[in-house]
C-alpha cells in the first residue's frame, strides 16, 4: 500500500473538487476524514488558480451545467500543466444525451488520469448501448473487465468501475477489489465519495491504478467495519466517518481483499 494513508495524513494534500450540489457535503467531509484537505471553487474566474495550488483535481458531473463544464475545462488544463492527477466521475452518463456529450467533450479536451463510474456509466463511455437509471447502474451486456481494460487502453488512463466488485485497470494491469458492504448502496453519494478518495490517494502515489485500488480497499474496509454495528443508513454513515478517520495501516493490510487479473 506504500503507506498511502500515512502520507495523506502527513502531507494533507489539497484536493480540488468541481462537483455536484447533492453530495458535495459528503465529498468534502470524507476527504477531510481521510486526512486530506478538500476545497471546492467552481467560479471560472478562480477555478484554475485553485487547481494550481492543489495536489489533485476531481471533476464530478452529477449536477453539471454549461458554466460548470467551462470551469472544469479551465481547471483540468491547469492540472494537466502542473501534472497533478485528474479524476473524472462520470455520474449519470447513459441517462441523458447532455451528460454523454459533456463527458465526451471533457475527455476530448483535456487529459483525464482516472475515469470512474458505475458499470453502466463506464459501458456507455466505452461506446456500449448502456442506459443509466438516473445515477443508478443498470446491468450491462458486455464483460465488464474487458470493457474497463479496453477503455483504459484507448484513453491511455486508469479506468475504475465501481459496483459489487470494483474493477480497476490501466490497460496493462487490472485489479478486482472485493471490499465493501451492501449498506454503502443504501446511502447516496458513496460513488462520489470514492472519486474523492481516489484523488486523495493519487495525490500521494503516482501509480494511479494502484492508488485507485488502495483507495477502494480502504473505503470498502471502513464500510465493512461501519456495517458491523449499524442499524440502517443513518447510523451506517456516522460510523463510516468514524472508521475512515481511525483506519490504521495494519487494518488495511489485514483486510484488503483484491486480486490481480
User: What residues make contact with a second copy under the rule CB under 8 A?
Assistant: 12, 14, 16, 20-26, 28-29, 32-33, 37-43, 45-46, 49-50, 53-54, 62-66, 92, 95-99, 133-136, 186-189, 230-235, 237-246
Min dist CB 191 to a second copy, Å, is: 12
Side-chain-side CA neighbours of residue 93 (13 Å): 30
Task: Give CA 97 to chain center in angstroms.
Answer: 22
Contact 203, 13 (CB under 8 A): yes
Q: Which is nearer to a second copy, 68 or 151 (CB)?
A: 68
Contact 82, 76 (CB under 8 A): no
Extract the C-alpha cell encoding 115.
475515469
Q: Please return the burial class of 245, using the count of CB atoms within 10 Å of its CB with bins 0-12, 13-18 and 19+.
A: middle
Q: Which is nearer to a second copy, 65 or 257 (CB)?
A: 65
Min dist CB 79 to a second copy, Å, is: 15
Q: Which is nearer to a second copy, 14 or 159 (CB)?
A: 14
Q: Which is nearer to a second copy, 10 or 46 (CB)?
A: 46
Min dist CB 135 to a second copy, Å, is: 6
Extract the C-alpha cell encoding 240.
463510516
Give counts: helices (H), strands (E), the chain: 11, 9
Min dist CB 15 to a second copy, Å, is: 9
Q: Which is nearer to a second copy, 214 or 243 (CB)?
A: 243
Amino acid at each position: 500500500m506504500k503507506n498511502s494513508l500515512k502520507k495523506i495524513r502527513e502531507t494533507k494534500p489539497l484536493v480540488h473538487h468541481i462537483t455536484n450540489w447533492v453530495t458535495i457535503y459528503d465529498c468534502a467531509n470524507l476527504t477531510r476524514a481521510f486526512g486530506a484537505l478538500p476545497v471546492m471553487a467552481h467560479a471560472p474566474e478562480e477555478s484554475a488558480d485553485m487547481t494550481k495550488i492543489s495536489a489533485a483535481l476531481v471533476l464530478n458531473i452529477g449536477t453539471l451545467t454549461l458554466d460548470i463544464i467551462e470551469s472544469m475545462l479551465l481547471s483540468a488544463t491547469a492540472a494537466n500543466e502542473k501534472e497533478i492527477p485528474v479524476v473524472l466521475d462520470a455520474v449519470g452518463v447513459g441517462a441523458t444525451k447532455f451528460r454523454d456529450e459533456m463527458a465526451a467533450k471533457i475527455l476530448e479536451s483535456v487529459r483525464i488520469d482516472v475515469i470512474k463510474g458505475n458499470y453502466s456509466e463506464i459501458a456507455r463511455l466505452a461506446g456500449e448501448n448502456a442506459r443509466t437509471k438516473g445515477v443508478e447502474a443498470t446491468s450491462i451486456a458486455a464483460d465488464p473487465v474487458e470493457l474497463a481494460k479496453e477503455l483504459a487502453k484507448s484513453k491511455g488512463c486508469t479506468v475504475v468501475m465501481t459496483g459489487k466488485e470494483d474493477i480497476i485497470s490501466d490497460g496493462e494491469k487490472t485489479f478486482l477489489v472485493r471490499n465493501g458492504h451492501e449498506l454503502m448502496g443504501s446511502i447516496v453519494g458513496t460513488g462520489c465519495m470514492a472519486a474523492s478518495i481516489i484523488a486523495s490517494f493519487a495525490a500521494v502515489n503516482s501509480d494511479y491504478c494502484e492508488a485507485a485500488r488502495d483507495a477502494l480497499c480502504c473505503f470498502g474496509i471502513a464500510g465493512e467495519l461501519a456495517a458491523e454495528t449499524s442499524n440502517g443508513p443513518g447510523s451506517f454513515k456516522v460510523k463510516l466517518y468514524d472508521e475512515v478517520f481511525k483506519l490504521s495501516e495494519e487494518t488495511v493490510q489485514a483486510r484488503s481483499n483484491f486480486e490481480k487479473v
